[in-house]
Amino acid sequence: MEILINVVGGFVVEVGKFVCKCIYPKIENIVRFSSKVENLREEMEKITKLRDDIKGKTEKAKGEGYKPKPDVIKWIEDVCELEDEWETMQENIATAKTRKYTCCPNCSLRSEVCTQVQNIRDQLCRLKEVGENFGSNLMVENYQVKKVEFIPGPSIEGQSAATRNLNKILRLLEDDKVGIIGVWGAGGIGKTTLVKNLNNELKQIDVSIRSKLSFGVVIWVTVPKPPIDIRKVQAQIADRLSLEVNTDQGSEERNASKVYQRLKQEKSFLVILDDVWEAIDLDHVGVPQPKDHAGSKVIITSRFLDVCNQMEIDIEMKVYTLDENESWALFIKNVGDVANWPVDIQPVAMEIARECDGLPLAITVIGASMRGKNMAEQWKDALESLRKSEPNATYVRDKVYKVIKWSVDSLEQRGNRSDIKSCFLYCSLYPASIPTNDLIHCWWAEGFLGEHDTYEKAYNRGITIIEDLKNVCLLEEAHEKDCVKMHDVVRDVAIWIDKSISHNVKRMSFISNKIKHLTDNLTEYPETTTLLLQDNYSLREIPHEFFLSFPALRVVNLSETGIRALPCSIRSLCQLRTLILQRCRMLNELPAIGNLCNLQLLDCDRTELCCLPEGMDKLTNLRLLNMTLGRLKESIDLGVFHELQRLEMLQLRIRSGGVVGATSFDEISHLPNLTSLFIYLDSSSISISKSDQYTWMKRLKRFHITVGNTSTHDEVPFNKSTRAICLTGFDIFKSKVWLSSMLQFASDLYLEECMGLTEFIRNNSFDGLKSLYIFGCSYDFGPSIEGSGQFDDPMPNLEYLRFYSVDNLKSVSDFGHFLGLRFSKLRKLDISHCRNLTCLFNVGGAFSVPRHLEEITLSYCFKLTTELLAQCGSSQTTFVSSEIPRVRKLLLYSLNALRTFGEPESMWEHLEELEVISCNGIRKLPLSIQTSNKIKKIRGRSEWWSSLEWDDEKYKSNLENCFTNIL
């Protein structure tokens, strides 16, 4: 029995021990739940603080260019994950702390939470040990992001133009007002080479001398071609900064935030975005705006000016081609040692260099392609290929021609416009300067400008395309006014593209080819639409059957040839839309042209035609007629202009005293689409005209109406904004009814040898007039008559006033007072050959110099003595500074009696340009000019400059660099 009791007792004891061992931890978790949770919370706070401390140190070191060790980055990420796990437990912890019943906790939940707590504690202990072992060894040894990384590329050493550009950019980087710089120019012009050299220059520059060039980091980004993936731009910046970013779709905003925060840590940065084809939003990339981050800059290189402007650059810098000497030096550098070339190679090599026309890419690539070629035949073959616009090697085609072709293709794609490539290729027909108007007229005739209701809309479209081509450097400004030009290499590429598109002869150009004769045995060219023969002065005759070979012609240009007549075969050109015969000075007659039913433009400006051609009234599609007639053999037929109902622009110059009669003028004034008119009339044409002048003149957008035979008409420019009336040789006041009506719409009024001027002006209002030109009038502008005329200024908006040979003009003040003119907006004054002018403005009690006057030109006024501007009539005269004009430009010619500039001195404080020729009485400049820092140009003869007296010699030395000697 005792044995049984001992056995049972032992079993009970062991069972009890086992039960206690299993239950006790759970009971302990339930009982000590709160203390375990609080202990873990304290431990989590400690490791979080350790994490923040290590992360702060790494971020600071990254800002200095160092790179964190991978295991440090992993440790920080693991602590963050543990934190997240701990945060997700908080709701269960809160629930486990509440009592399930009044006095009983939720035992099962507490036990489950305690198990999770223990798991976190185990991870925490491991992470804590690892973190404490890091110590200060957080970053990769011997690794630091360099402020500037060297970028391989060709050096510009010894290239003066490129060096000047480099120095200019360096100065811009030091300018606090400049944040974003746009460097633009043609493909292959050297933009990338320039900024690569800039980058490398910043690596070695002495920042102790030029502290503003000490950027915290310089970042180079090669921008991918469109469509631009912002993530690829961000990835290049992030890689440079040792920053991790995501390249997945939709990660742009997160990446931008990371890049932004990292760059904001820099004291300053320079980001170079190279080869930008489409505008990029810096905010989307994550680059802080330079204006919000002192000392930081962004440089953009692009072929497109409009891309730079869309990115809101502060300043643009265009990169130009090299001059001949610089081109030759670069060519030699790439082709090899010129000293070893045989004599018969060097001249050919120089011609090849000239064919590159200063384009660095072409010079470099073509030069390199000729390296090692020692036979003259090879060089001559290469030159011939270039002249034929055929790349002499695949390397040249790929590296030069395709680079420029990308610009064309990109422009076409960006605007979704196929017309712009056709317009670009058309420009290659011109060997030199291209008149803008001629070019647009040809595009219009060829149908490149689309369908438009009016010529003006087509013209506006043409101007837009020209500006687009200029903005990508496929066209350039020419030296001649209203002309553009095409770079030689760009023209070669255009011809190369055109050849690859079509093998048929679509357009022929023989411009400036010294052609003397044309054959009449031509093969027929049924697809040729353009024939350009201008600037062949020796071409005297065109064969009778010549135009039969070109049945599809839309454009014919024979300007500046010596032709005396057009052959009758011109009448066969039923598709002809544009016929240009400018400056054919031997041409005095045209054949009957009634068959040219599709003709839209006929330009016979500055020819010697003696009559309108027969059949003019049949040209019902004519939109623009520009014709100069010599001495008329016969009057203009009635009804000619009446049939030209679609005519929009009419320029009809008649020389040798000829004018358009009243009947023809009535027909012209009734043309419903006429918006531009240049015409010579006599006074009777208007006075007996049946037209309602208000109605038809209101319709005109520009006009130049000359009434009477005038010698000044050539001085009056006819441009897109001219609204001019020129009157000569009759009594204005007697014609005041019709003239008042016409002047309502005029902006420019030219008067020559006219009577009745003063009464006419004093009794009428001309609010629209901005320019007044008076030639050869001899009025006596005496004192104003009290109560006469009207109270208001008759010309309140007058900006430009010119007198020529007005003998009785003594001062502008007298003229103004007499006519009631206040000159409140006068900006420019020009007086010449007025022999009785004694001063410009009289001062008597109130200062009367127009306060907005900016430019003064005086010449051949021999009685202009003593003072230039003011002749005081009272010792009490005072000058109010707010009323003193800020004259910027002063031009003085042949004023032998003039001695001084006159008072007040402050009139010359803003002078920027001074020219003094044959005014030897002027021995001293006003002190305000001597001490001025505004002066940019002073021109005169060296003997005059040497004879000037100075208040201080240092004033002369300060202005010496502004002076230019005029021989």
| CATH code of the domain covering residue 236 | 3.40.50.300
Pick 745 or 849 by higher pLDDT.
745
Are 879 and 907 a contacting pair, CB within 8 Å?
no
The average pLDDT across 568-580 equals 95
Alpha-carbon distance values, 304 to 402, 408, 421 (Å): 17, 11, 16
The average pLDDT across 525-543 equals 93
The average pLDDT across 564-584 equals 94
Residues 46 and 124 in one domain: yes
Does residue 59 sit within a domain?
Answer: yes
Give the per-residue pLDDT at 788: 45
Backbone φ and ψ of 741, nearest 5°: -65, -40
Peptide bond into 904 cis (omega under 30): yes
Give the per-residue pLDDT at 877: 47
Alpha-carbon distance values, 787 to 762, 765, 767, 816, 818 (Å): 11, 17, 21, 15, 12
Residues 167 and 314 in one domain: yes
Number of domains present in the structure of the chain: 5
Q: Of 362, 388, 414, which one is at a domain's C-terminal end?
A: 388
Instruction: Reply yes or no on whether the pLDDT at 530 is more than 90.
Output: yes
Residue-wise burial string across 48-57, b where 16 or more C-beta atoms lie within 10 A, e elsewhere? eebbeebbeb
The average pLDDT across 759-769 equals 81
Residues 168 and 314 in one domain: yes
Give the per-residue pLDDT at 553: 96
The average pLDDT across 919-947 equals 91
Residues 337 and 302 in one domain: no
Instruction: Reply yes or no on whether the pLDDT at 15 is more than 80.
Output: no
Does residue 556 sit within a domain?
Answer: no
d(CA 576, CA 291): 57
Peptide bond into 227 cis (omega under 30): yes
The average pLDDT across 522-539 equals 91
Model confidence at 712, pLDDT cuts 50, 70, 90, reads very low
Angle 416-419-425 from CA coordinates, rounded to 5°: 125
Q: Report the amino acid identity of residue 732.
A: I
Instruction: Reply yes or no on whether the pLDDT at 83 is more than 90.
Output: no
Residues 311 and 182 in one domain: yes
Instruction: Reply yes or no on whether the pLDDT at 440 is more than 50.
Output: yes
Give the per-residue pLDDT at 828: 96
Residues 280 and 425 in one domain: no
Residues 25 and 122 in one domain: yes
Residues 416 and 351 in one domain: no
The average pLDDT across 573-587 equals 94
Instruction: Reply yes or no on whether the pLDDT at 99 is more than 70.
Output: no
Instruction: Reply yes or no on whether the pLDDT at 872 is more than 90.
Output: no
CATH number of the domain residue 456 falls in: 1.10.10
d(CA 410, CA 97): 69
Model confidence at 430, pLDDT cuts 50, 70, 90, reads very high
Of the candidates 547, 549, 542, which has an alpha carbon nearest to the alpha carbon of residue 569?
Answer: 547
Residues 331 and 314 in one domain: no
Q: Of 356, 388, 420, which one is at a domain's C-terminal end?
A: 388
Does residue 563 sit within a domain?
Answer: no
Round the CA-based radius of gyration of the chain to a whole number and report it.
42
What would the DSSP string read from start to end of 830-849?
EEES-TT---SEEESSS--S
Q: Show the tokens assigned to 95.
A: 């629930």
Give the per-residue pLDDT at 172: 93
Give the per-residue pLDDT at 687: 59
pLDDT digits (tens, 9 = 90+) for 622-660: 999 998 877 665 667 667 888 999 999 999 887 655 567
Residues 299 and 331 in one domain: no
Model confidence at 713, pLDDT cuts 50, 70, 90, reads very low
Instruction: Reply yes or no on whether the pLDDT at 120 is more than 50.
Output: yes
pLDDT digits (tens, 9 = 90+) for 235-272: 999 988 888 888 777 788 999 999 999 898 888 999 99
Q: What is the mean pLDDT of the chain?
A: 82
Instruction: Reply yes or no on whether the pLDDT at 874 is more than 70.
Output: no
Model confidence at 543, pLDDT cuts 50, 70, 90, reads very high
pLDDT digits (tens, 9 = 90+) for 313-351: 999 999 888 888 888 888 888 888 754 577 788 888 888
Does residue 678 sit within a domain?
Answer: no
Q: Show the tokens assigned to 135.
A: 């110590």
Does residue 766 sit within a domain?
Answer: no
Q: What percentage of the chain reaches a pLDDT higher than 70?
A: 83
Instruction: Reply yes or no on whether the pLDDT at 142 is more than 70.
Output: no
Residues 88 and 111 in one domain: yes
Give the per-residue pLDDT at 656: 58
Instruction: Reply yes or no on whether the pLDDT at 689 is more than 70.
Output: no
d(CA 774, CA 803): 5
Instruction: Reply yes or no on whether the pLDDT at 810 is more than 60.
Output: yes
Residues 341 and 285 in one domain: no
Lowest mean pLDDT, pick from 137-146, 193-202, 273-282, 484-493: 137-146
pLDDT digits (tens, 9 = 90+) for 199-226: 999 988 887 788 888 898 999 998 988 8
Q: Of 503, 527, 560, which one is at a domain's C-terminal end?
A: 503
Per DSSP, the chain holds a count of helices (H) and strands (E) of: 29, 31
pLDDT digits (tens, 9 = 90+) for 360-392: 878 877 787 787 777 888 888 888 877 777 766
Long-range contacts of range 742-747, CB-CB < 8 Å, 24 or more positions apart? 742/686, 742/693, 742/697, 742/705, 743/768, 743/769, 744/694, 744/697, 744/768, 745/697, 745/698, 745/700, 745/703, 747/721, 747/722, 747/723, 747/771
Pick 903 or 5 by higher pLDDT.
903
Give the per-residue pLDDT at 416: 52
Does residue 86 sit within a domain?
Answer: yes
Give the per-residue pLDDT at 957: 87
Model confidence at 563, pLDDT cuts 50, 70, 90, reads very high
Q: What percentage of the chain reaches a pLDDT higher than 90?
A: 31
Backbone φ and ψ of 772, nearest 5°: -130, 125
* Structural domain harbouring 265: 160-318
Lowest mean pLDDT, pick from 450-464, 573-587, 818-832, 893-907: 893-907
Are 574 and 596 a contacting pair, CB within 8 Å?
yes
